Structure 1
Amino acid sequence: MPKRPLRPAMANGPAMAADLIVFGEDWGGHPSSTQHLIGHLARTHKIVWVNSIGLRRPRLGDIRRVAQKLAALAGTPDAVGAPAADAPGVAPGFRVVAPRAVPWPGNPLAEAANARLLGGQLRAVMAEENIVRPILWTSLPSALPVVGTLGERAVVYYCGDDFGALSGVDHAPVLDMERRLVEKADLVIAASPALAERFPREKTVLVPHGVDARVFSSPAPPAADLPEGKVAGFYGSVSDWLDVPMLARAAQALFDWTFVFIGPVRTDVSALTRLENVRFLGPRPHAALPAYVQHWTVSLIPFRDTPQIRACNPLKLREYLASGTPVAATRFPALEPYAHLVSAIEPGGDLAGAIEAAANQAGGALARLRQLAVAQEGWDRRAEAVETALGRF
């Protein structure tokens, strides 16, 4: 892709902030790194957020979700309104678009249809919003068909996951779309060193995940449904990247502890549900999480060793540390800078021992050290790094 000219400077000041067309997950759910970053960028940029375009072919079990997508498109071409209440610093008028797109990665007919349908839809939105030559930002390879159709001044690919290992993804066609997207991108922003190594060095910058340290360190009253006594807690998606057998062994060994899981369950947890000291509380809003993590005894990151985990940079790690609560975790690359603050074991190891060791590191000076370790890693700092990278377009 030929280099696009830099935006002109204003006559009496710095260059105007470019408008952003952003492709991400459905806005308003549990905030991702993209939502955190764009929430901050929305203070100075006009944002059109395009909800998720699927990363796998439709299956029989997807009928309900497809019906919901069709219902969203049946009324108006997009939804306009304030984003999720816990997204930081979002300006009024932030626009969220329900995309007219066929979720079939790797299918040439679907790509052609999406270039026409979604490209036309977004050009109409751009005209309504008086957007000309935006930066096209995508956190999903499935946005590839519209690249080059919006008169964009630059293409930014934000890579926060290894799509070759992510569950629920058609890996081969999505990786092919990612490869073609990177070829067209002017800038790649990677969330971890392992991800950054996959892309051309001359166009890639590393922006690790951040944390809303103020939210997680400011005292919150304990949640009403948090059990009393010694609690080992986890929040996030309960999926196949968690080592369920290891967790079951720990819960059996620590019969005087309660193990609490917050989040949707997307894997077989029968080995845990049969144990009397295990509780699944279901999903909670992001803003409610400090009321749990600040008051349970030890926070858990019980990952398996997988390619996805080796490339990940989980938001919960910094949030746990910002709360000051001790952490017991299996080792993975993104943990290493904080390993001296965590009771860390090798994947599949003695989680019960790690939990008891972490519990001995509670309170006082050690809690403050954990908080200080991430105090300068706020999403505002990460957004400043992104702003600097975008400033050349």
Structure 2
Amino acid sequence: MSELVVLSHLRWDWVWQRPQHLVSRLGEGLPTWFVEEPMPVPGLPAPSMHVEPSGGVNRAWLKVDHDGHWIGFGDLLARDYGDRLVDLLPPQPGRVVWLYTAAALPLAMRLDPSVLVYDVMDDLSSFKGAVPEHRLRHQAALKAADVVFTGGRSLHRGVTAFRHKDVHCFPSGVEPEHYAEASHLRPESRPRPVAGYVGVIDERIDLDLVAAIADALPDWDVEMVGPVAKIDLATLPTRPNLRWCDARPYAELPAVMAGFDVALMPFALNEATRSISPTKTLEYLAAGLPVASTRVPDVVADYGTVVALCDDGPGFALACRSAWANRPVGVPPVHPVVKAQNWDRIADRMAAAVVAAPAGAVETQGRSARDV
């Protein structure tokens, strides 16, 4: 691997999650590019490429004239993205191109990869606002990739319905040493217990359930920490003991979780959550927190004996009160599942799979963006 180019639907500086954890490790010591979706800039005279170093990663995106909030890789306004990206990144032997969204497959093929990786971290076709053709693009990316990774067992089942060869399941991991600080920062007592959530707040969160949890725990505080996406702020429920807090940087998350006594995963059970494997499960456990969650399939399968599975507000309240009554004295031991799912180990195993992939298997010669 001489160069790593990642094409992602997520901004590098948004929420620190699977792409950032893996790319920061896999790209160490290599020229690494993180190519993002186009950025709308009202009044821009002409489209232009923007490059911005961020640590050991070069962020890049196309700026276009638009007054909207979101433009995807396949938008007509971004039709010149491929040409501009090729100008920025001329052919490079040994280049690995890493996809996080099938919408960027045409761009990936333009970059003439020696190895094409498709890391399926979410079923994006089931998300709110997904274009109808995304499912077909997903299948095309599965066919084109030299190696495919999946972020959980439900995603893996969906992928292997289309492809079996060179498909590897790597659920997301955790940095135990990062979150361990939370156990040491957590006070022995506070005026009121706190149940909290950290993460993106979008259509995957059951807002009615959040309100029901707050209602069932009137003597607790409920804190929801994270960016709100694809949800009208006016629809967020309000309660005297419910607080909606802005996103916090990754470096501050241990301190945020030190402010919790129980961690919540109040996910809706819908198409958008059918295949998710929440990274925050391990992060909560590494922070020394008991966890209460709805019955998301991968949570039930992977952590059913570790987290409290709940169905409604009273169920969450019961789990929270039980965890509070049986809280350990001092710093709790690190759960064995946390040690097993370390991001360093996962990145090493994924790198080995990339090295073992048949280099040059991607057929790019004579193909245009409209062919994929």
TM-score range normalised by the length of the shorter chain: 0.7 to 0.9
Tell me what 1:18 maps to.
Answer: 2
Change (3 A) 1:165 1:389: same
Deviations 1:56-92 (A, max 9, x none): xxxxxxxxx6226959954xx3313124xxxxxxx3x
Choose which of 183, 203, 206 in structure 1 pairs with 2:143.
183
Tell me what 1:11 maps to.
Answer: none
Change (3 A) 1:349 1:384: farther
Distance 1:68 1:212 in 2: 39
Letter paired with 1:360: A
Change (3 A) 1:104 1:300: closer
Letter paired with 1:180: A
Structure 1 length normalisation: TM-score? 0.79
Shift of 1:218: 2.3
Choose which of 25, 29, 38 in structure 1 pairs with 2:14.
29
Shift of 1:193: 1.3
Native 8 Å contact 1:248 1:271 kept in 2: no
Native 8 Å contact 1:241 1:303 kept in 2: yes
Choose which of 321, 325, 338 in structure 2 pairs with 1:356.
321
Distance 2:235 2:320 in 1: 19
Highest relative contact order (Cα 8 Å, sep 6+), 1 or 2? 2
Tell me what 1:319 maps to.
Answer: 283
Deviations 1:285-342 (A, max 9, x none): 1211111212311110011111321210111111000001111111222223222222
Choose which of 206, 214, 225 in structure 2 pairs with 1:262.
225
Tell me what 2:367 maps to.
Answer: none
Higher mean Cα deviation, 30-39 or 196-205?
A: 196-205
Tell me, yes or no, if structure 1 residue 79 matches structure 2 residue 51: yes
Tell me, yes or no, if structure 1 residue 205 matches structure 2 residue 168: yes
Choose which of 268, 276, 280 in structure 1 pairs with 2:244.
280
Higher mean Cα deviation, 192-201 or 335-344?
A: 335-344
Alignment of 1:44-83 (within 5 A): 44-52=29-37, 66-67=40-41, 74=48, 77-83=49-55
The ranges of structure 1 where at least 4 consecutive aligned residues each deviate by more than 6 angstroms after the TM superposition are 269-272
Change (3 A) 1:178 1:260: same
Change (3 A) 1:253 1:197: closer
Native 8 Å contact 2:176 2:286 kept in 1: yes
Letter paired with 1:388: A
Deviations 1:223-267 (A, max 9, x none): 99xx84211111112222222222222212211101111112343
Deviations 1:106-149 (A, max 9, x none): 77xx49x74xx33322222224xx83341111101111222432
More strand as a share of residues: 2
Shift of 1:349: 6.5
Distance 1:181 1:101 in 2: 26
Letter paired with 2:144: K
Letter paired with 2:20: Q
Alignment of 1:102-181 (within 5 A): 103=71, 110=76, 114=79, 117-127=80-90, 131-170=92-131, 172-181=132-141
Distance 1:27 1:106 in 2: 19
Native 8 Å contact 1:261 1:280 kept in 2: yes
Shift of 1:374: 0.6
Distance 1:50 1:265 in 2: 23
Distance 2:191 2:295 in 1: 29
> Which blocks of at least 5 consecutive residues in structure 1 are unaligned?
1-16, 54-64, 84-90
Distance 1:34 1:70 in 2: 29
Distance 2:293 2:45 in 1: 42
Change (3 A) 1:339 1:359: farther
> Which blocks of at least 5 consecutive residues in structure 2 are unaligned?
66-70, 360-372
Tell me what 2:177 maps to.
Answer: 214
Deviations 1:182-232 (A, max 9, x none): 2211111110111112221113111110111111012477599xx842111
Higher mean Cα deviation, 257-266 or 297-306?
A: 257-266
| Partner SS state of residue 264, structure 2 | strand
| Partner SS state of residue 245, structure 1 | helix
Higher mean Cα deviation, 308-317 or 353-362?
A: 353-362
Tell me, yes or no, if structure 1 residue 328 matches structure 2 residue 300: no
Native 8 Å contact 1:342 1:358 kept in 2: no
Native 8 Å contact 1:247 1:351 kept in 2: no
Distance 1:160 1:34 in 2: 9
Alignment of 1:287-298 (within 5 A): 287-298=251-262
Distance 1:136 1:249 in 2: 45
Native 8 Å contact 2:7 2:108 kept in 1: no
Structure 2 length normalisation: TM-score? 0.83
Tell me, yes or no, if structure 1 residue 192 matches structure 2 residue 152: yes
Distance 1:71 1:295 in 2: 47
